[in-house]
Amino acid sequence: MIVVTRHSVSSDPEATAEFQQQARTVLEAFAECAGYQRGTLARCADDPQLWTIVTEWAGPGYYRRALSAFSVRMVAVPLLSEAWDEPSAFEKWVEVPSAS
């Protein structure tokens, strides 16, 4: 399962740095949870104010339990509450590894 949240962040260097640190803290908190596989913070190449946080989980139950953990709620809820209001959890159907 993947979870994708999109965020609009001011181009102000202080706002950008604060967002990057918050996102890193959230990913580190998720990394301590069962079922967490990996997470990425990425910025749009064409619009530097658009960011995304992508996490991968062993399944939806793991992600839901992670969100209910107190240590995660303390850091994730403030950041995720600022994400775009759109569906964010997706079930993987096809995955093709690199041919090399």
Q: Where are the domains of the chain?
A: 9-90
Is pLDDT above 90 for 100? Answer: no
Averaged confidence pLDDT in the chain: 95
Q: What is the DSSP letter of 56?
A: E
Q: Please give the average per-residue pLDDT across 28-32, as a whole number.
A: 97
- Quick check: helix, strand or coil at residue 51? strand
CATH number of 9-90: 3.30.230.10, 3.30.70.100, 2.40.50.140, 3.30.450.40?
Answer: 3.30.70.100
Count of alpha carbons within 13 angstroms of residue 99, beta-carbon side: 0
pLDDT at position 76, please? 93
Contacts of residue 77, Cβ cutoff 8 Å, sequence gap at least 6: none
The whole-model pTM stands at: 0.91
- Rounded CA separation 13/3 (Å): 27
